[in-house]
């Protein structure tokens, strides 16, 4: 999952978008937010919605298959909400001051955790990683010479993990806008491997 990803106005999902399997101890990307990723926060409802940059889901395949069959039988399509059981993503949003903030965003046994990491500048390379610990996700954000509000280059936070093992086995998750709101205008982010 590298390249430039675009979310169109009024949409949640990016293009291009293609599924890929993941079997790894860590997912690392250099992220560059375009100025199009800035948007006005219209109060706490907007600020509490977290968009997603990248990450992965670690589904229980038996649960995923059972839910997929149930969805197909009842609605004729698969809902795809399996990542709300076990997943880790780098989240982002804009606050009322117009700052773009990164967050650790994860689900463990269906319980969501959102932890702010730091404010980041646009049009700047930001090294982001999600590492696997046996029962935790470790999020690192590194901005050369800069991490707003901190006197260090790298900021680390930790959230809970319900999947077991030293590696994540699951699916990659893509650039996404929302929660409850769709993109107010077209947005772009670039992701590349270090």
Across the range 105-129, mean pLDDT stands at 91
Residue 94, pLDDT above cutoff 50: yes
Give the mean pLDDT of 2-17: 89
The pLDDT score that the predictor gives to residue 35 is: 96
Contact indicator for 167, 1 with CB cutoff of 8 Å: no
Beta bridge partners of residue 104, listed in sequence order: 90, 115
Q: Find the mean pLDDT for residues 59-84.
A: 62
- At 74 the three-state DSSP class reads helix
Q: What pairing do the DSSP bridges indicate for beta strands 26-33 and 187-192?
A: antiparallel
What confidence score (pLDDT) does residue 150 get? Answer: 47
Q: What local confidence, expressed as pLDDT, does residue 130 receive?
A: 96
CATH number assigned to the domain covering 3-192: 2.60.120
pLDDT of 132 higher than 80: yes
Q: Which helix (H) or strand (E) holds 29?
A: strand 26-33
One DSSP character per residue, 168-180 reads EEEEEE--B--SS
The C-alpha atoms of residue 182 and residue 170 are separated, in whole angstroms, by 26
Say how far apart CA 184 and CA 111 lie, in whole Å: 28
The pLDDT mean for the chain works out to 83
Q: Record the pTM.
A: 0.83
């Amino acid at each position: 999952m590298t390249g430039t990803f675009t979310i169109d106005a009024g949409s949640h999902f990016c293009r291009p978008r293609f599924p890929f399997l993941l079997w790894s101890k860590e997912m690392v990307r250099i992220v560059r937010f375009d100025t199009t990723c800035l948007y006005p926060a219209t109060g706490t409802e907007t600020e509490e919605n977290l968009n997603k940059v990248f990450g992965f889901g670690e589904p229980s395949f038996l649960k995923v298959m059972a839910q997929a069959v149930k969805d197909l039988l009842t609605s004729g399509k698969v809902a795809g909400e399996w990542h709300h059981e076990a997943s880790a993503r780098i989240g982002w949003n804009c606050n009322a001051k117009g700052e773009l903030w990164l967050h650790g965003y994860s689900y463990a046994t269906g319980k969501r955790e959102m932890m702010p990491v730091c404010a980041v500048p646009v049009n700047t390379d930001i090294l982001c990683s999600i590492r696997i610990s046996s029962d935790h996700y470790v999020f690192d954000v590194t901005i050369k010479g800069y991490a707003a509000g901190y006197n260090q280059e790298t900021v680390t936070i930790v959230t809970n993990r319900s999947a077991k093992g030293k590696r994540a086995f699951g699916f990659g998750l893509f650039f996404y806008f929302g929660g409850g709101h769709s993109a107010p205008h077209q947005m772009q982010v670039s992701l590349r491997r270090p």
